[in-house]
Structure 1
Amino acid sequence: MMKLKAKLILTVGVAVLVGVLGQLSVSAASFTTNPQIVRTKTAVNLYRNAARTKKVKAIKKGTFLKIADVVQRNGKITALETNHKQYLTANQSFVAKTAGYQNPKKYYQVHYQQIKPYGKVGYTVKRGFEGIKTWYIMRKMGTFAGYDKYNQATYQAVKAFQRRHHLEVTGNVNEATWLKMGFTKHAWTATDSYVAPLKAFAWQGRQAHINAMIHQATRYMGNPYLVGSSSSPKYGTDCSGLVMQALYAGGISPVPVSAIHHAYPGNEWNSRNLWASKKLKHVAYRHRQRGDLIFYYQPGTHVIWHVAIYLGANRVIESWPPRIMVQPIRNGQRSNVAGVARVFN
């Protein structure tokens, strides 16, 4: 009996030891194929050479890296090579394969393919429409007085123009009327379809996405405030139009809010739709961070009427009459902060 117990204990002990060694072996395994993107589990070093003897710098836990190759020497894996030709450990105890940076599922997801226009490209412009095409039409008809909303005067001027040029008299500007006004076929669709190019990648982290968003917004600096506008940086925008194009650059498509629909009647206040979206994380004002959206309410009504992008140091970039500019987070024109929404979490 004693021998049987001893044998059983020995057998169990060996099994446990084998299991432990197996776990150690798995936990210490190195990548054998290219993981494409990794995220560091702890602080690790980057090196200039695959032998990892010439240190470049240390990178912190949670850093994303694009991997170009798995480096082997004499049949042994020595390192992962990044897309910047730097090297780090291939040990899975320190780095994990990942799909890349992403928001939690309940928030707007980060896109890594160019965002497509959402809505009808080449829409007919009618009464109540705003935006860049309306701005062009009103200036052509001589009815623009600083506010680009397709009003009754513009409607009547377009009808008169159509009669003179033997076009169907509708008072609306379709492609045929647009071309007769002297504008190009390219402008008819390009004005609608502009979506800021993606400027951040899956293997970059939160700060890179914030930088992409802010960089796009700064491209509009000095352009005029134009209601209902959200197009190329060669034009002006309004407050939410500026934010939408900045979001696109960071990889966020806040549908059903879109740059195209922004010119449609009833979409003037997309700042309110963004504020109401459950896909943005609302945080306390005291916890505001660079890249957050700052929402403002109208004095007296407490209705949302403005949104800006927080730059840090109590400054925002915004579109507010008369232009797109950097301003203090509170000033004499709009100081009633409704709250803060975080885009990248």
Structure 2
Amino acid sequence: MNTLKRITVSGLLSLMALFLFTVGSTAHAAAQYYTTNPGIIKTKHSLVLYKDAAKTHQAAKVSAGHFAKITKVVKQDGKAPVLKTNTGKYVTANKAFVQKTRGYQNPKKYYQVQYHQIKPYGKVGYTVKRHYEGIKTWYIMRKMGTYAGYDKYNQATYNAVKNFQRRHHLKVTGNVNEKTWLKMGFSKKAWTGIDSYIAPLKAHAWNGRSAHIEAMIHQAYRYMGNPYLVGSSSSPKYGTDCSGLVMQALYAGGINPLPTSSIHHAYPGNEWNSRNLWAAKKLRHVAYSHRQRGDLVFYYQPGTHVIWHVAIYLGKNRVIESWPPRIMVQPIRNGQRSDIAGIARPFN
């Protein structure tokens, strides 16, 4: 009787041990996989994306550091879970190969990549005064007949505006406020729209570095052929100057290079925002020999160490830039500007 009891107890203990081992092993295995949607993942190693959840048909191979947005976790009986991406491809849910992340981002000491539409910085609907530049000034000077290829609110424009205000019984200031702007025949929509334009974000948190660079370059190409206009940084239906083009391109990639802004770019003295961008500590400077597509190329004024131009590097020793008379693609060095100060990298 005692022998039978000992055997029964021994058997129960063995079964309990087996059960606990099985449960523990299953829990440990489950802990190795994402079982709830991680949102965005980044690959730790190079791996395969599949066309199907059963992972029988390969779609593509991706390298370490690839980002993906996950729409759901797919669980199948007897099989390890997999993650479905927003592109319809499938990837392992194994935490040894993929990790949850907030998305692509620069190191903290550099400009942070934004994932909400960047807002205008400055007064939308600003009054245009002497020495202002930009698109509003360009419109006003053409209306007053004082534009001769350089959109800077000069004394002749100031005098012409005063005469216009007298003729139309407006307060005579020589400055163009909204009331004077409307009397000139321009729209209320343009009064604020020119100021407030910020290039829409064209890259997401689940896109990697390359996608942000391409978003920046794509925005710059939207201005191709438009005229060089000093102090201008607005919609692609207008021209820009060199730093104005770069700012809107950066906005499209998710970089807000404050305190440099598209609105303040029209204010007196801000036509040289290329200098402010060059001096920005939140842009990483790299050696010229290490230049890559998407880097910013800065130039010295000939014979000086004064920054006077910036362009976007496209690769193969070409840049896209705004240089008189228009926005265009050019060699990185040419007869007009070849004294390169250095290279800054917005996306790291």
Work out whether the TM-score is over 0.5: yes
CA contact (8 A) 1:71 1:78 kept: yes
SS of structure 1 residue aligned to 2:146: coil
Q: Percent identity?
A: 76
- Which whole-Å CA distance do the structure 2 matches of 1:192 and 1:227 have between them? 15
- Counterpart residue type for residue 195 of structure 1: I
**Gap change, CA 1:43 and 1:269, over 3 Å in 2:** same
> In the alignment, which residue of structure 2 is the partner of 1:344?
347
Given the alignment of the two structures, is residue 182 of structure 1 paired with residue 185 of structure 2, yes or no?
Answer: yes
- Which whole-Å CA distance do the structure 1 matches of 2:189 and 2:283 have between them? 35
- Which whole-Å CA distance do the structure 1 matches of 2:113 and 2:30 have between them? 30
Residue in structure 1 matching 2:164, options 148, 161, 166: 161
TM-score, normalization by structure 2: 0.91
> In the alignment, which residue of structure 2 is the partner of 1:301?
304
Q: Please, which runs of 5 or more residues in structure 1 have no aligned partner?
A: 1-17
> In the alignment, which residue of structure 1 is the partner of 2:11?
none
Mapping for residues 45-56 of structure 1, pairs under 5 Å: 45-56=48-59
- Counterpart residue type for residue 244 of structure 2: G
Q: Which has the larger radius of gyration?
A: 2
- Which whole-Å CA distance do the structure 2 matches of 1:237 and 1:221 have between them? 10
> In the alignment, which residue of structure 2 is the partner of 1:110?
113
Given the alignment of the two structures, is residue 239 of structure 1 paired with residue 242 of structure 2, yes or no?
Answer: yes
CA contact (8 A) 1:42 1:61 kept: yes
Over the aligned positions, Cα root-mean-square deviation in angstroms equals 1.5
CA contact (8 A) 2:35 2:81 kept: no
Q: How far does the alpha carbon of each residue in 1:187-215 deviate from its partner, in whole angstroms, 9 at most, with x for none?
A: 00000000000000100100000000000
SS of structure 1 residue aligned to 2:104: coil
Given the alignment of the two structures, is residue 84 of structure 1 paired with residue 92 of structure 2, yes or no?
Answer: no
Mapping for residues 209-220 of structure 1, pairs under 5 Å: 209-220=212-223
Q: Please, which runs of 5 or more residues in structure 2 have no aligned partner?
A: 1-20
- Which whole-Å CA distance do the structure 1 matches of 2:47 and 2:191 have between them? 52
SS of structure 2 residue aligned to 1:268: helix
Q: How far does the alpha carbon of each residue in 1:50-82 deviate from its partner, in whole angstroms, 9 at most, with x for none?
A: 111111111111100010100012386521000
- Counterpart residue type for residue 338 of structure 1: A
Mapping for residues 316-331 of structure 1, pairs under 5 Å: 316-331=319-334
CA contact (8 A) 1:222 1:325 kept: yes
CA contact (8 A) 2:34 2:81 kept: no
Mapping for residues 1-345 of structure 1, pairs under 5 Å: 25=28, 29-74=32-77, 77-345=80-348
- The Cα of 1:301 is off from its aligned counterpart by 2.2
Residues paired across the two proteins, number: 325
- The Cα of 1:300 is off from its aligned counterpart by 1.9
Q: How far does the alpha carbon of each residue in 1:211-255 deviate from its partner, in whole angstroms, 9 at most, with x for none?
A: 000000000000000000000000000000000000000000001
- The Cα of 1:28 is off from its aligned counterpart by 6.2
- Which whole-Å CA distance do the structure 2 matches of 1:218 and 1:57 have between them? 29
TM-score, normalization by structure 1: 0.92
